[in-house]
Structure 1
């Protein structure tokens, strides 16, 4: 069997190679908003509170940081990072009292459950989401009600 060589010739100038490439522009940053309830969450002292928040548009938040905090960002009420809850970084007042309900996290929806609400829990909570390139937050109001038995 004899091997030969083949030559391709063009009758006219071929289009430059780069003209056949399709340029696709993909945004590097996906912006989102964090949305919480637009009304205070009312809970009686001693009960459990559920603080919901979600991303808009809907997106998977499993790989994002989800941080719940009060006035100081560096003092988390609850921290979810690298796919797990980071209990060791939680402020002492909330250790053992919180749980991040992640049933809807693939759709960007989470709920912070706080057990055994006390009057000191009354006030603002901030729900913060951070992706690799963007972050946003929403502020929620918790009203811890106490009842007098007269």
Structure 2
């Protein structure tokens, strides 16, 4: 019984599948490394703001590295709900939600250390809630969640 091995040549079946499998493993490994290059951290408590005042939403990279050539995006519930976008070394206002137009400023004094903050002026009751701060460099990206609590509504 033991001698009755099914008649196919194992060499060809295995070797034809192997290169694809090896390539897949390498690709997964590269992506795993890429996504772990840095982490993004926001404040550990909600940011208090008052109607008519301003809020500063800080985010920073660990380990410290320059974010000058990264894409930085603050958004609300969806990636496309852009509060502020910085890409290609400058602020981009084309995709910004109309309700934030003219009210946001990216504070870049410490961007070479991976520390940036978004200032939102003339706070409105609708600014209350969650924001995501998203950093992307090549295929690597990470984000952090921030909470703004608007008082005096």
TM-score in terms of structure 2 length? 0.76
Q: Where is the helix percentage greater, Structure 1 or Structure 2? A: 2
In structure 2, what is the equivalent of residue 94 of structure 1?
100
The answer to whether residue 61 in structure 2 is matched with residue 50 in structure 1 is no
TM-score between both structures, scaled by the size of structure 1: 0.77
The residue that corresponds to 2:111 in the other structure is 105
- Aligned equivalents of 2:139 and 2:115: distance in 1? 19
Which residue number in structure 2 is paired with residue 78 of structure 1? Answer: 84
Query: What's the Cα RMSD here?
Result: 1.4
Q: State how far apart, in whole Å, the 2-side matches of 1:99 and 1:46 are.
A: 16
Out of 69, 82, 85, the position equivalent to 2:75 is 69
Corresponding residue to 1:141 among 132, 142, 147: 147
Partner of residue 116, structure 1: 122
Moved over 4 A (4+): none
* 5+ residue gaps, structure 1: 1-26
SS state of the match for residue 120, structure 1? helix
**Runs of 5+ unmatched residues, structure 2:** 1-29
1:35 equivalent to 2:41? Answer yes
Q: Indicate the structure (1 or 2) with the bigger Cα radius of gyration.
A: 1
Pairs aligned (count): 121
CA deviations over 1:35-82 (Å, ceiling 9, x no partner): 011100001111011010000000011000000000010121000000
